[in-house]
Structure 1
Amino acid sequence: MGESLHAVIELPATEDTEAFGRRLARELDAGDLVVLDGPLGAGKTALARGIAAGLGVQGRVSSPTFIIAREHRAGERPGGGPPVAMVHVDAYRLGIGAGGGAAGSDRTFDELDALDLDTDLAGAVVVVEWGEGVVEHLADRHLLVRLRREPESDVRTAQWGWVSARG
């Protein structure tokens, strides 16, 4: 897999993480897959909220941990451009998060198949928390964002870039 991640950006507050998500959304269109990686508290859901705001989707964005996936209908996109829906997935409970099964297990892939994310990719941006190592097969390329939280601090850092499945 070809990986080219950009330099690290510092995100001192939740508002900065959301603003970063709005900037990333300018690069996204229907059919794009975004994989958010990072430990608990790293800012994955805040980044998803920012992406949603940048896409102009409808509805409040919160962690879909207990429902696994939530679809947000397309709204008016800030700055113009074609409206696009967003599907927000939290793969943590599919056995790939802390305390779950092994990433890439048959059970995990069966649960992902049941979500029909490959179908959603045709008409939406799909944002997957806890998806690294599991959902990349859904698209020829994806935007990988690695988030980290500094110990004893609210400061987060992000490293991001488009990753090709073909190397």
Structure 2
Amino acid sequence: MIIESKSAVKTRRIGETIGKEFRPGDIILLAGPLGAGKTTLVQGMAKSLGVTGSVMSPTFVLARELEGRLKMYHVDLYRLEKMPEITDLGLDDYLYSDGVTVIEWADRAETLWPDDHLRVDLEYAGDKARKLKITVHGKRYHEMLDNLALKFGEKR
């Protein structure tokens, strides 16, 4: 499914809609160039979970644990380029937890992700516009996609 966003406000709203569907153990993978809106999307997800305070990209700390109705593990792989650096993070502790794991720059470690996940590829579609391509793997995430399609009137 592809959703177009013409503003950061709509990108956050898309994130909120995704986040309202979160259950323990959900895995969300984000990919796209710098400035495409990955962190903006995460801000909306965090808001839907009741996370208070600012949500920033964990580029320099690599991972942040955010408290809300569910824990959100916000991971950023931007600074890591080699697979040994990424595997040393202990991502399994996040991926197989009772929280929600959201990973920015997930395309840097494609082979590490579980079969079941939701992936959002963001790309520029103009000055402030973005295109979000959402793909799902696993029954759980097909349900999420159906709800997103209803909310945003998009075709799958």
- Conserved? CA contact 2:77–2:108, under 8 Å: no
- Conserved? CA contact 1:118–1:138, under 8 Å: no
Which residue of 1 is the match for residue 91 of structure 2? Answer: 117
* Equivalent AA in structure 2 for residue 140 of structure 1: D
Taking the TM superposition and a 5 Å limit, the aligned residue runs for 1:104-143 are 107-108=82-83, 110-121=84-95, 122-132=97-107, 134-135=109-110, 137-143=112-118
**Root mean square deviation of aligned Cα:** 1.7
Q: Deviations over 1:76-129 (max 9, x none)?
A: xxxxxxx2101111101111xxxxxxxxxxx42x32333222112312111111
CA pair 9-138 structure 1, distance change in 2 beyond 3 A: closer
- Determine if the alignment matches structure 1 residue 88 to structure 2 residue 74: yes
Question: Structure 1 or 2: larger helix share?
Answer: 2
**5+ residue gaps, structure 1:** 1-5, 76-82, 96-106
State the distance in 1 between where 2:58 and 2:20 align.
Answer: 23
Secondary structure class of the residue paired with 2:107: coil
- Determine if the alignment matches structure 1 residue 25 to structure 2 residue 19: yes
Which residue of the other structure, out of 14, 30, 38, is the alignment partner of 1:36? Answer: 30
State the distance in 2 between where 1:33 and 1:136 align.
Answer: 14
* C-alpha deviation, 1:31, in angstroms: 1.1
**How many aligned positions are there?**
137
State the distance in 2 between where 1:49 and 1:136 align.
Answer: 26
Which residue of the other structure, out of 137, 154, 157, is the alignment partner of 2:131? Answer: 157
* C-alpha deviation, 1:132, in angstroms: 2.0
- Determine if the alignment matches structure 1 residue 144 to structure 2 residue 131: no
Give the TM-score, by structure 2 length: 0.80
State the distance in 1 between where 2:43 and 2:77 align.
Answer: 17
Which residue of 1 is the match for residue 43 of structure 2? Answer: 49
Q: Deviations over 1:121-145 (max 9, x none)?
A: 3121111111125155342311100
CA pair 115-63 structure 1, distance change in 2 beyond 3 A: same
Give the TM-score, by structure 1 length: 0.75
State the distance in 2 between where 1:162 and 1:86 align.
Answer: 19
